[in-house]
Amino acid sequence: QVQLVESGGGLVQAGGSLRLSCAASGNIFSMNSMGWYRQAPGKQRELVASVTNGGSTNYADSVKGRFTISRDNIKNTLDLQMNNLKPEDTAVYYCNARDNVGTYWGQGTQVTVSS
């Protein structure tokens, strides 16, 4: 079973940047898909960005052109570069991974964007 640990969250002003990183305890090569989700207070968890084992990416419309997801199957990491951050990006961000056995989640990291 893969364990996921996020890091890189914090407080940033609007227009700033943050880079989130997710470290996996095992080999992520077998993960069909990995992604970042977020959940703001009072809202449902939503997909931010995902990347398949083949390298295909998918982004929420609200982050297209600002966020970039990257996956390193050698280092077993998943990163999310977030630029031009907006107050509405404030949320807890979760790392996610899926294989043929199940779905795995990290514990989350808080991102707060001040206006």
pLDDT of amino acid 26: 80
CA distance 62 to 114: 18
| Number of Cβ atoms within 10 Å of the Cβ of 108 | 18
CB 51 within 8 A of CB 70: yes
Q: What is the pLDDT of residues 79-96, one digit of tens each?
A: 999 999 999 999 999 999
CA distance 102 to 78: 18
Q: What is the pLDDT of residues 17-73, one digit of tens each?
A: 999 999 999 888 888 999 999 999 999 999 999 999 999 999 999 999 999 999 999
CA distance 62 to 5: 25
Question: Considering the chain, what is the average pLDDT of its residues?
Answer: 96
For tokens 């940047």, name the residue: 17
Start-to-end C-alpha separation, the chain: 40
| Number of Cβ atoms within 10 Å of the Cβ of 81 | 16
